[in-house]
């Protein structure tokens, strides 16, 4: 397996490194640690700076980036024997997505910056842009001041899988099945039934034959997914069904109550227009989760 970690020296990126050290990746997995040197737009005043001064500033920034790469690689060296450092120049989201495609990586690891809602709406965050553009699965980590402490490597990793029986959810389960789970991971598969609560429509909804059939199908799918994970070595797998009017809020609530380390969710693959108009569950999870969010999708290397 090949992982690309975006290292920028932020507490969020360091939280991602702690999660990477706890996830039981397949033996021989490769790690690429990348730092992007953002281009500086020179003002009219800056154009008057001497060439020597500009070169000194550039060299200082490169030196700082190389130190960030070295520190990040050091924190990951106990878990990953094969680590390569990449220093890139340009826009962070573009460069990380391009490198992920060129290297055909299986997972991109990034830290969430924690911008407020207005900043996200006006500018968009680097993490969300990478989540949208990466041709593979993406792990987004939050800083422990806004999330549960990820704990030491020896602790059992708690994974909450948002499961709805869809192909995207099945891909999330298959992603886990490709990892040596064993005793190091505790997994809960969560199915959330969406209720229409207006005018007490939820009462009629629960009494309908279709609702009961859907719940029965959901439980069968959950049990099948649990057995699938157990067949690949997972020792602790639980299943649960919840009912709510807000699916994403319920996933977040369960994750916080259970003290999950990571929420695992399959990407529905909606178009850019769909994501902007409706918002996706994965996007809301990465914005508001108090823990890491692992968005799984099938790897592709060609543009659609």
DSSP assignment letter at 171: H
- Each domain of the chain, given as residue ranges in start order, spans 2-296
- What's the pLDDT tens digit per position in 238-274? 999 888 878 899 999 999 999 999 999 998 654 444 4
The string of pLDDT tens digits covering residues 34-55 is: 999 876 655 555 555 556 555 6
Question: For position 282, what pLDDT does the model report?
Answer: 84
| CATH topology classification for 2-296 | Rossmann fold (3.40.50)
pLDDT digits (tens, 9 = 90+) for 74-127: 999 999 989 999 999 988 899 999 999 999 999 999 998 744 444 444 444 788
The DSSP string of 190-222 is EEEEEP--GGGHHHHHHHSHHHHHHHHHHHHHH
Contact predicate 161/222, CB 8 Å: no
* pLDDT of 155: 81
Distance CA 194, CA 303 (A): 34
Higher pLDDT, 62 or 124: 62
pLDDT at 128 over 50: yes
User: Which residue carries 């070295």 as its tokens?
Assistant: 70
Side-chain-side CA neighbours of 292 within 13 Å: the count stands at 31
CA distance 94 to 202: 45
DSSP 270: -
């Amino acid at each position: 397996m090949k992982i690309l970690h975006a290292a920028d020296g932020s507490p969020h990126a360091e939280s991602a490194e702690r999660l990477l050290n706890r996830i039981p990746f397949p033996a021989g997995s490769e790690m690429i640690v990348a730092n992007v040197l953002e281009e500086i737009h020179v003002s009219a005043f800056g154009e008057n700076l001497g060439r020597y001064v500009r070169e000194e500033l550039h060299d200082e920034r490169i030196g700082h980036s190389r130190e960030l790469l070295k520190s990040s690689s050091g924190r990951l060296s106990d878990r990953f024997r094969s680590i390569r450092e990449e220093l890139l120049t340009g826009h962070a989201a573009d460069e990380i997505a391009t490198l992920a495609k060129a290297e055909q990586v299986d997972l991109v690891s990034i830290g969430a910056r924690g911008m407020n809602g207005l900043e996200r709406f006006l500018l968009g965050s680097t993490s969300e842009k990478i989540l949208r553009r990466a041709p593979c699965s993406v792990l987004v980590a939050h800083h422990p001041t806004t999330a549960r402490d990820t704990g030491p490597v020896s602790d059992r990793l708690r994974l909450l899988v948002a499961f709805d029986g869809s192909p995207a959810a099945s891909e999330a389960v298959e992603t886990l099945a490709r990892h040596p789970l064993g005793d190091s991971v505790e997994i809960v598969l969560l199915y959330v039934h969406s209720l229409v609560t207006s005018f007490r429509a939820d009462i009629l909804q629960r009494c309908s034959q279709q609702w009961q059939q859907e719940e029965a199908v959901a439980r069968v799918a959950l049990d099948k997914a649990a057995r699938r994970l157990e067949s690949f070595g997972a020792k602790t797998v639980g299943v649960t069904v919840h009912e709510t009017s807000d699916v994403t809020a319920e996933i977040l609530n369960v994750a916080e109550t259970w003290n999950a380390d990571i929420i695992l969710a399959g990407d529905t693959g909606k178009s850019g227009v769909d994501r902007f108009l409706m918002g996706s569950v994965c996007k809301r999870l990465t914005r508001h989760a108090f823990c890491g969010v692992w968005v799984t999708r099938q790897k592709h290397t060609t543009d659609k």
